[in-house]
Structure 1
Amino acid sequence: MAKILLTGGTGLVGTLLEKKLKEKNHDVYILTRSPKKENHFKWDLDTNYIDEKAFDKLDYIIHLAGAGIADKRWTNQRKKELIDSRVSSANLLYNYIQKLNIPLQGFISSSGINFYGAVTTDKIYTENDAPGNDFISKICIEWEKSANQFSSLNIPVTILRTGVVLSKNGGALQKMNTPLFLSSLGSGKQFIPWIHIEDLCEMYCKAVEDSKFTGIYNAATNDHQTNKSFTQTLGKVLKKPVTPFNVPAFVLKIIVGELAIIVLQGSKASADKIEQQFTFKYNKLEEALKEIYN
C-alpha cells in the first residue's frame, strides 16, 4: 500500500485513476484549489502554496494537472496557460519535495504523444526520436523537462506520452460524436494514436506498483488508425452514418484557429517499448469502442 498525491484528480483520467488506486488499497490524496473532501489538500499556483500536510509520509506523486489542450483557442495568453499549468505546477511540487526533503519513491507524469510534433508521415515514432518543432511539441518538451528534474533528487521518474484517451465519460469521443466530427477532417490521412482510459489508468497503477516501470513510454496502442478509418469505425459502432464529404481544413481553422493543427495532423507512435512491460486490454479500436458504447 502506498500513499499517493494526485494532481488533476478531478479530471477525466484522474477521477477513474483515483478509484482504481483505492481499489488496489492505496491511499490517494488530491491537490485542489478548493478542498471539499477529507482526502483533499489545498494548493494555489498563483501564490506558490501547497498545504505541507499533503507531503506527510508521501510515497508517490502522479502529476496529471494541465489546462485542456483543445478547450479554447490558442491565444498568446492561452498558450502561456497551457504551459504554466503543467510546468509551473511541477516546479512547485519539486520545490516542496526538495525543501521538505521528502524521499519519494517515484514521480509519475503525464505528457503528450504530440511530443513528436503535429505532422503527418508514415514514420512510426519511438521514444528515442527527437521532438517536433511546433507549439504542441513545445508544451510536451517543457512538461517532460519539469518532470525529469526530480531525477536530480534521485527520485525515479516515469513519463507517459499519452495519445487520444477514449472514454464514455467525456474527452475526445464526446467531441467526435457530433455531425461535424463524424466525418473525415482535412485529408483524413492523419493518424490518431489512441488509448482506452482503462489501459491508461492501469499504466499509472503499474508505475506505482512496479519499481522497474520507469522512464518514458508512448501510451498509445499499435493499432494505427487514420482519421478516416477511425471515423468509419466509430460510425459503425454507433450505428450512425458517416458524412461522405471531408470537412475542409480551412473550415476547422476558422472555427478553432491554430489549434486545428492537432486534429488535421498526426503520425503513428510505437507501443513496442511499453508492450514489453504492459499488456493492453484494448488494443483494437473496434473492441475498445464497443466496450465504451455497448
Structure 2
Amino acid sequence: MRILITGATGLIGNELVALLLQNGVQLHYLTTSRKKIADESNFKGFYWNPEQGIIDENCLMGVDVIIHLAGATISKRWTRSYKQEIIESRVITTNLLFKAVKANPGQVRQIISASAIGIYRDSLKNVYFEDSKIFDEGFLGNVVIKWEQSVDKFKLLDIKVCKLRTGLVLSNKGGALIELMKPIKMGLGAPFGSGKQIQSWIHIHDLVEMYFYAARHEWEGVYNAVAPNPVTNKELTVCVARNLHKPLFMPKIPEFLMQLVLGEMHQLLYSSQYVSEKKALEHNFEFQYKTLEKALDHLLTLA
C-alpha cells in the first residue's frame, strides 16, 4: 500500500506517519517547505503551494489512498481574516488535490479526510450519529460543511470518500490536553461554565489507528472518530487534576469571562456534543482507550 498524506508534520500527522512506517506502508507526503522534502525508499516528500495552485503531481505516482489532514488550527483567535484562513486552508487544499487526481486518473481509489464533530449543534440532550442533520449554524458548523463538501467532489472521480469527524484529541505532545493541564498544574484549574457540557474525546493512538484501519478496510462515508465514553467538562477537569495530584478549588469559569479573553473562539470550551462511536464499532474497529481514566493514565505517565 502506498499512501499520500497532507498535514504530515502536524500533531496527528506525526503520529500517523510513525504508525504507517512501522507497518511497512510506503508514504508520500506534501509539504510547503522545500527544505522538508525527504527522498527515501519508503518516505518521499513533494512540494506544493496551495495558495498559488502549485502541486508536484509526481506525489500521486503509485498512490492507492490519500489521507488529507491539512488545515489551519482552530485554536487561535478567530479574527475575520483568520476565519477566512481556516476555511480556505481546508477547501483550497482539497480542491488542489482534486485537480491533480482528476489529471492523473486510475491510481487513487480512496481519500480519507479529517473532519470535526463541530458540525453538530451544541446540545446537552442530543446524541449525534453520522446520519444526524442537526448541524451547528455558526462558524464551526459552516467550516465543516464546506470542508466535507469539497472532499465529496472526489466521488465524481469514482473514488471512495471517507470522512472522520474527530472529537477532542488527547495527546501529551500538544493540543487540548496540554492547554488544560497548564492552569491545573498551577492550582488554577476549574471547569468551564456549568461543567455539564459533554466532551466527546479520543486518544491520539486510537485516532491514527482508525485512519490506518479505514485505509485497510476501504471505509466509505462518515464515521465519528470518538471514544466510547464521553465525559462532562467537569469530569474531564477532575480526572486530569486527579492524575496530576493537584487540587481543584477555584470557582467555575463563567462564559462571559472567556469570551472577553478569547472572543468567538471561546465556543470551543463551552459547546456540548454527545457523539456516538457505534458505527466504527459496528465496522469492527477496536478502541484501545475506551475510558478517560485509561487514556489519561497512559498519556500522563509518559508526560
Q: TM-score, normalised by structure 1?
A: 0.96
Q: Name the residue aligned to 1:161.
A: 165
CA contact (8 A) 2:51 2:92 kept: no
Q: Name the residue aligned to 1:283.
A: 290
Question: What pairs with 1:38-49 in structure 2 (closer than 5 Å)?
Answer: 38=39, 39-49=44-54
Q: Name the residue aligned to 2:228.
A: 222
CA contact (8 A) 2:165 2:224 kept: yes
Q: Name the residue aligned to 1:116.
A: 120
1:102 to partner: Cα distance: 4.2
CA contact (8 A) 1:112 1:161 kept: yes
Q: 2:132 aligns with which of 129, 134, 147?
A: 129
Cα distance in 1 for partners of 2:207, 2:110 equals 18
Q: 1:59 aligns with which of 53, 59, 64?
A: 64
What secondary structure does 1:62 align onto? strand
1:132-164: CA deviations, max 9, x gaps? 211101111011111111111110011100001
What secondary structure does 1:5 align onto? strand
Cα distance in 2 for partners of 1:267, 1:158 equals 21
Cα distance in 2 for partners of 1:13, 1:179 equals 24
1:147 matched to 2:139: no
Q: 1:241 is matched by which residue type in structure 2?
A: P
CA contact (8 A) 2:189 2:250 kept: no
Q: 1:125 is matched by which residue type in structure 2?
A: Y
Q: Name the residue aligned to 2:197.
A: 190
Task: From the superposition, tell whether residues 54 and 12 of structure 1 become closer, same or farther in structure 2 (CA, over 3 Å).
Answer: same
CA contact (8 A) 1:167 1:173 kept: yes
Q: Name the residue aligned to 1:20.
A: 19
- The number of residues matched between the two structures is 290
1:120 to partner: Cα distance: 2.9
Cα distance in 2 for partners of 1:149, 1:43 equals 20
Cα distance in 2 for partners of 1:4, 1:116 equals 30
Cα distance in 1 for partners of 2:214, 2:175 equals 23
Cα distance in 2 for partners of 1:222, 1:63 equals 24
Q: Name the residue aligned to 2:252.
A: 246
What secondary structure does 2:251 align onto? strand
Q: 1:86 is matched by which residue type in structure 2?
A: R
Cα distance in 2 for partners of 1:61, 1:182 equals 40
What secondary structure does 1:28 align onto? strand
Cα distance in 1 for partners of 2:132, 2:249 equals 36
CA contact (8 A) 1:55 1:102 kept: no
Q: Name the residue aligned to 1:266.
A: 272
1:114-134: CA deviations, max 9, x gaps? 1113x1322111111112211
CA contact (8 A) 2:117 2:273 kept: no
Q: TM-score, normalised by structure 2?
A: 0.93
1:260-292: CA deviations, max 9, x gaps? 011111120011111112111001001100000
Q: 1:105 aligns with which of 103, 109, 118?
A: 109
1:46 to partner: Cα distance: 1.6
Question: What pairs with 1:62-77 in structure 2 (closer than 5 Å)?
Answer: 62-70=67-75, 72-77=76-81
Task: From the superposition, tell whether residues 243 and 66 of structure 1 become closer, same or farther in structure 2 (CA, over 3 Å).
Answer: farther
CA contact (8 A) 2:60 2:107 kept: no
What secondary structure does 2:86 align onto? helix
Q: 1:183 is matched by which residue type in structure 2?
A: A
* Structure 1 spans left out of the alignment, 5+ residues: none
What secondary structure does 1:179 align onto? helix
CA contact (8 A) 2:116 2:144 kept: yes
